[in-house]
Structure 1
Amino acid sequence: MLLIIVGTALAWLFGLQSPDAIIASLSDAGFNPPQFHIDSFIEGLPHALPYLASAVPLGLANYVFDLENIESADAACDSYPTRKIMMVNGCASMLGAFMGNPFPVTVYVGHAAYKEMGASIGYTLFNGVIMFFVCLLGLGALLLSLIPGAAIAPILVYIGIVTANQVVRETPKLEVPAIFVCLFPWIGYWALSLFKNTLATAGTNAQEVGIEALAAKGIYYQGMVGLGNGAPLASLLWGCMVVFAINNTPLRAVVAALVAAGLALVGFIHANGVGFAQPESMMFVYSYLMMATLFGVKHFYNLKESASEPVSQPQPITPATKATEAV
């Protein structure tokens, strides 16, 4: 709260906020009670079908985020029933869709950070009540005109630092490399988003500029597309394969690699959109299949090695042995 107050005061002091924005935001204020829009929902279904290509991967990513945040809370010694949380999120998202809300519900990140700040269930309840009244009265634009985004950013940075610290602290030492492997798809996603937004600001795109021209300047656009698209799912699967390899459980790594190959085959990861056996996706499919084969070979090698090890025979129990065990 202190960060928001100081940041807001500095923004107004240095003229970064405009009083005109407050006046303009008041036009959105008013009583806006939630209403059911089932007819609009049904009418909009045909128009929504083309967007399933992005909605389905986003839904899967949202599912992963929920699990990650539940696990984060559990690592902070606060266990919650996963099934109930996922059911509430799903039902709330469906109810919101019938009431005109296009945004799915998810478990918000930062449980460990809020706990370190001394927050408890009352903090979450207070936030929910405040956000309900802000939306009910149409005050969202007013708050954004009063409080600059730069004043809120330090809170998100703090949450990220605490969460990253928790991940490294709670992860077994041998499995720490998996954390950094999981970061690679996210770095690609960040670079891809930044590059696309830059080109869009200039009124162009990568195809118009030319993939080869970009590569000549050291910008490998296709690499960013392959690495960044589907980052939530790709990072999870990469981390699984690394952990399974470290713990010498190659059969599980085979399953993870095959799942990754299946997702790449339908364009959920490493592709610009959903589509079956897209040319740009097939090299990832083949790569995952080769990895699955490699892990499969390691699994059979482990079996062969275990079979060749001599089996120790149990020693016969004699009166002398019993006496020794008793001592």
Structure 2
Amino acid sequence: MNNTAPKLWSPGDWNALFGFGTNILVNLLTLTALLRYVVKLPDDIVFGRILPATGLMLFLSTGYYAWLAYQLAKRENRDTVCALPSGVSVPHMFVVVFVIMLPIAAASGDPIHGWEAGLTWVFVQSFVLMLGGFVAPWVKRITPRAALLGALAGVSITFIAMKPALDMYLDPVIGLVCFAILLASWFGGVRYWRGIPAGLVAIAVGALIAWGGLALGRDFGGMDPDALGTSLASFGFSLPIPALGHVFGGFEYLGVILVTAIPFGIYDLVEAMDNVESAEAGGDRFPTTRVITADGVVSLVGCLLGNPFINAVYIGHPGWKAIGGRIGYSAATGVMVLILSWCGLVALLMALIPVVAIAPILLYIGLLIGAQAFQETPRAHAPAVVLALIPQIAAWGKLMIDNALAAAGTHAGAIGIDTLAGTGVLYRGLELLGGGAILSSLVLAALVACIIDRAHARAGAFALAGAVLTFFGFMHSEAIGVAVHPSIATAYLLVAGGMFVLARQTATRPIDLAHAALEAAD
């Protein structure tokens, strides 16, 4: 056997670096804007404390997953292994800001208190991940792939792909042109001059259109020359420093924090498990426990240094692998983030690059993950995949309604749930189906996949799990408790009973299981 060491860098890593790197950059720009303009933290905290800690966390995460990929490539003696992408969890970025940091900052009159509560929130979630990592392999082993990939596809289509798709049409001259540049290369195989990565070409063309249009009196991309000059003030070298006092300072809000930290910790656990399954479907099998516990460990390190955002394995492994990403792109992205965050360059990039030029990269990832859910599962399980999308669509729809009403200074309760229903907006239905959507998607899709396979006992077990999770508020709810939705929990119990009865009948009157297996594998 040839035991030569795997290559640390491949030509395709350039493509993945500019694709994944710009994805990470967008998230850094977004969280910076949230901290400065929503929580209203002072710039010395944002650029001098939080971003350096975030940068170190991302450097540790991307470096670790590059090392895992290197070990896998070495063990299997192949050069096609792609490292898992990772970074700040995007859904949780908004949750911790709008559900934890902003309300506490407003109630206390001090944004520093909001920051401290965010640190405590991540502290709790980190331990949920580290402990849950030892349970995840068992869950992954018994759950149909259609449920794991379907739940992931739902997140990808709604919370990853929809916003960039909408942004593209709000600024189509840049958005559609950049999208076409990426599609021609990453789907169509077009090679640009001297092999320049498509992501870099898209960013360069987008910036050229934006600044060129501004020079001609046209506003493409919303560029602001004054912001470019102001961004230079953030230059300066800042190292992360311990923030233990701030972490434990947030414990006075522990009651409020636990309501969301534990459910979202479980959300991260399931999503990471889905992403590991997605990578395995793409040919790279990583150890689930080590992946999930690593997320918890690096999140804890970042938290103790002042970063109020959780780390997560990202959706997108098949996409980066498809464009040639291997080992080096992950580690190189970590180095890039470290330089940007420690040297105060994030604000400059915020002012220099039009965000709409980067948005098509996220849409591309949404397309890949959505397609994979159908391509890498048995054709007979397609209904289960479609069902897995629906709770995520409900969660996304509710979020859009909530945000719109909040912008108008009101909320659904003030308008009246019945009034909304009278106009065709079934807000209560969106709330119930979309609450805990990642778990709802997983359980419902697993239930359907098992029924399709005539595995009625397993279907009953998933329905029973749905009853327990719903009873305690982990599914169909946005807060944990006891007897949160007893009617829905009872419905799952009845379904579980029916499935167990069917399983018993099947045992006494066997069906043609061989035929069923062939149908499922078709």
State if a TM-score over 0.5 links the two structures: yes
Equivalent of residue 48 in structure 1, options 246, 254, 269: 254
Query: Is there any run of 5+ residues in structure 1 with no aligned partner, and where?
Result: 308-327
* AA of the residue aligned to 1:92: V
Deviation at 1:112, TM superposition (A): 0.9
Q: Does 1:270 align with 2:469?
A: no
Deviation at 1:31, TM superposition (A): 2.0
Equivalent of residue 208 in structure 1, options 370, 391, 414: 414
Partner residue in 2 for 1:311: none
Deviation at 1:38, TM superposition (A): 1.6
Deviation at 1:194, TM superposition (A): 0.6
Partner residue in 2 for 1:286: 490
Contact 2:394 2:431 in 1 (8 A): yes
* AA of the residue aligned to 1:5: A
Give percent identity, aligned residues only. 36
Deviation at 1:209, TM superposition (A): 1.1
Equivalent of residue 294 in structure 2, options 82, 88, 111: 88
In structure 1, distance between residues paired with 2:287 and 2:257: 32
In structure 2, distance between residues paired with 1:71 and 1:18: 43
* AA of the residue aligned to 1:25: S
1:262–1:23 Cα change, 3 Å: farther
* AA of the residue aligned to 1:271: S
> What whole-Å deviation, never above 9, does each CA across 1:27-64 have from its counterpart, x for those lacking one?
43322211111222122222233121111111111111
Q: Does 1:303 align with 2:482?
A: no
In structure 1, distance between residues paired with 2:266 and 2:308: 16
Partner residue in 1 for 2:461: 255
Contact 1:186 1:231 in 2 (8 A): yes
* AA of the residue aligned to 1:256: F
> What whole-Å deviation, never above 9, does each CA across 1:231-277 have from its counterpart, x for those lacking one?
11110111111111111111111221111111111112212322211
Contact 2:263 2:479 in 1 (8 A): no
Flag the structure with larger Rg.
1
Query: The residue matched to 1:106 in structure 2 has which SS?
Result: strand
> What whole-Å deviation, never above 9, does each CA across 1:78-121 have from its counterpart, x for those lacking one?
22222221221111111111111121111121111111111221
Partner residue in 1 for 2:209: 10
Partner residue in 2 for 1:140: 346
Partner residue in 1 for 2:231: 25
* AA of the residue aligned to 1:227: L
Q: Give the 5 Å matches for 1:172-191.
A: 172-191=378-397
Number of residue pairs matched by the alignment:
305
Contact 1:188 1:227 in 2 (8 A): yes
Q: CA RMSD for the aligned pairs?
A: 1.6
Q: Give the 5 Å matches for 1:42-191.
A: 42-191=248-397
In structure 1, distance between residues paired with 2:371 and 2:269: 23
Q: Give the 5 Å matches for 1:31-42.
A: 31-42=237-248
* AA of the residue aligned to 2:397: A
Deviates more, 1:6-15 or 1:126-135: 6-15
Identify the structure with bigger relative contact order (alpha carbons < 8 Å, sequence gap 6+). Answer: 2
